[in-house]
Amino acid sequence: MRIFTETDRLILREILPEDEDAMFELDSHPEVHRYLGDHPITTKEQARETIRSVRQQYEDYGMARWAMIEKGSGQFLGWAGLKFMTEQNNHKNYYDIGYRLIPRYWGLGFATEAAIATRDYAFNEMNLDVIYGCTHIENVVSKHILEKIGLQFVETFPYHDLTCNWLELTRERWELL
């Protein structure tokens, strides 16, 4: 098992097949998918497929979302990290920063803590020049987290049947934070 980074309260590690039940709990929750197009998963096989997809990204790109584990309890809280994206909003071959938590862990600062660790990993360890993030326009909490860690709003854009915010953080701006 590879641990990518840690924070005061979190271990951010690779997502493993053993995370199936927790991944199902996360991605089957309707509130989690409220701003993601309202398509929660309904079977454990879908959770296994998500895990297989993430693990394939580790192999293909050396990076994918990480399991967010609380140090004190060992509980799977959700995921955070970077995802290599081939194309979205007229951008190609870039890294997207993201996070998703089981609702009982919302509002406790875990998403912000993981996002800061992800941002710093992107620039310190991966030596990226820029990272991007996007959120549904009504997901003000997620947009606030991205802005809190330094990403700046660029524009709104259509994504399938949703309207999303597009944000970015360059290395130069990150170095000034």
Pairing of strands 76-88, 162-170: unpaired
- Round to whole Å and give the CA distance between 157 and 72: 40
Q: Regarding the domain delimited by 3-128, which CATH topology (the fold level of the hierarchy) does it fall under? A: Aminopeptidase (3.40.630)
CB 13 within 8 A of CB 1: yes
Q: What is the pLDDT of residues 48-75, one digit of tens each?
A: 999 999 999 999 999 999 999 999 999 9
Tens of pLDDT, residues 119-146:
999 999 999 999 999 999 999 999 999 9
Local confidence band at 161 (pLDDT 50, 70, 90 cut-offs): confident
User: Taking all residues of the chain, what is their mean pLDDT, rounded to a whole number?
Assistant: 97
Q: What pLDDT was estimated at residue 168?
A: 98
Q: What is the pLDDT of residue 129?
A: 98
Domain range summary for the chain, segments of one domain joined by + = 3-128
Question: What pTM, to 2 d.p., does this model score?
Answer: 0.96
